[in-house]
Structure 1
Amino acid sequence: MKVVLALGSNLGSRFQTLQGAVDTLFDAPGLEFVAVSPVYETDPVGGPGGQKPYLNAVLIADSSLDPYTLLERAQSVENAFGRVRQERWGARTLDVDLIVVGDTVSDDPTLTLPHPRVHERAFVLVPWSKADPDGEVPGHGPIATLLAGLDTQGVWLRDDLRLQRPE
């Protein structure tokens, strides 16, 4: 099934961390690389003031894993790159979010799918639209339609940074 993962980092070596996350996510079986978006620099959304800008990208993969196993893998990769969860929407070395897992819709407090608020987050939808122009958020519609209603100021393409497919 198709899986959409969003990557973000605003602490440390942001680009190297994103590339390391791409490589590490695909180290174990169960995820097959399909596409990666361009890298975008984005203003922080929510959380405490004074945060540095983020680098964001979106990965598209095919997976045979169930959503909870995918969540465990994402959190394991975050931990491997020094993710510390101190405050909601605070600065982080790495954020790996499951955005969409097939057509799964879940309100489970452990794993809500599609990811809550993704339909209103330009920092996810802009890169996703480049990696998967026909993508859709279950229950919300095509990402192109969702993007048309959003302010995309604060989301800048970084032509100088390109994530490589996993080795």
Structure 2
Amino acid sequence: MRCFIGLGSNLDNPIEQVKRALDELAQLPDTQLIQHSALYRSEPVGPAGQPDYINAVAELNTELDAECLLDHLQALEQAHQRVRLEHWGPRTLDLDLLLYGQETIATARLSVPHPWMTQRSFVLYPLAEIAPDLQLPDGSLLSFHLADCPMGSPDRLAL
């Protein structure tokens, strides 16, 4: 299944957190890392006073079902010592399952497509970098959402 993962970090050397997570995504069982975007710097959404985020999007091909993939993503977050103290608060690593093929999933644990992805420039810009012609499960084009995104564009990092 073709899927896309959003990555973000704003604590404990965020650039290295995201780079390490990209390497770890490539090691998931029954999964191949197809490609990933550049890294982007963005202002935080949520509580004031937290550092800027480093974000990226990865494209995977996986044989894991969506819930099993979520388990692996949450295990990676825990390996990076993610602590959930505050909604949209600072974190060492955030991994979001943005898209899982063309499926729409609504369970107690998982909502796919990710409910905020079309409103977040730090998701849309890196996603458009690696999948510019992507069509979302509702039939809309990624380019439509990117043009209509209410948040400013994030800074693409040259590393």
TM-score range, shorter chain: over 0.9
Aligned counterparts, 1:28-39, within 5 A: 28-39=28-39
Alpha-carbon distance in 2 for matches of 1:42, 1:7: 12
> Alpha-carbon deviations, 1:118-142, whole Å to 9, x = none?
1111110000000111123222611
Structure ranking higher on relative contact order (CA contacts 8 Å, 6+ apart)? 1
1:20 maps to 2:11? no
1:74 corresponds to? 73
- Residue 36 of structure 1 and its aligned partner are, at CA, apart by 0.5
Q: What is the TM-score when the length of structure 1 is the normalising length?
A: 0.91
Supply the AA of the counterpart residue of 1:75: Q
Aligned pairs, how many? 159
2:8 corresponds to? 8
Q: From the superposition, tell whether residues 77 and 109 of structure 1 become closer, same or farther in structure 2 (CA, over 3 Å).
A: same
Do the aligned partners of 1:36 and 1:57 also contact (CA within 8 Å) in 2?
yes
- Residue 43 of structure 1 and its aligned partner are, at CA, apart by 0.6
Alpha-carbon distance in 2 for matches of 1:59, 1:131: 8
> Alpha-carbon deviations, 1:32-63, whole Å to 9, x = none?
11110011000111x21101100000000111
1:164 corresponds to? none
Supply the AA of the counterpart residue of 1:4: F
- Residue 152 of structure 1 and its aligned partner are, at CA, apart by 4.8
Do the aligned partners of 2:118 and 2:149 also contact (CA within 8 Å) in 1?
no
1:61 maps to 2:60? yes
- Residue 154 of structure 1 and its aligned partner are, at CA, apart by 4.9
Aligned counterparts, 1:149-160, within 5 A: 149-159=148-158
Structure 1: where are the runs of 5+ without partners? Answer: 162-167
> Alpha-carbon deviations, 1:55-88, whole Å to 9, x = none?
0000001111100011001000001011001111
- Residue 109 of structure 1 and its aligned partner are, at CA, apart by 2.1
Say what the alpha-carbon RMSD is for the aligned residues.
1.2
1:165 corresponds to? none
Alpha-carbon distance in 2 for matches of 1:21, 1:73: 12
Structure 2: where are the runs of 5+ without partners? Answer: none
Alpha-carbon distance in 2 for matches of 1:34, 1:154: 25
Do the aligned partners of 2:118 and 2:124 also contact (CA within 8 Å) in 1?
yes
- Residue 13 of structure 1 and its aligned partner are, at CA, apart by 0.9
Do the aligned partners of 1:119 and 1:140 also contact (CA within 8 Å) in 2?
no
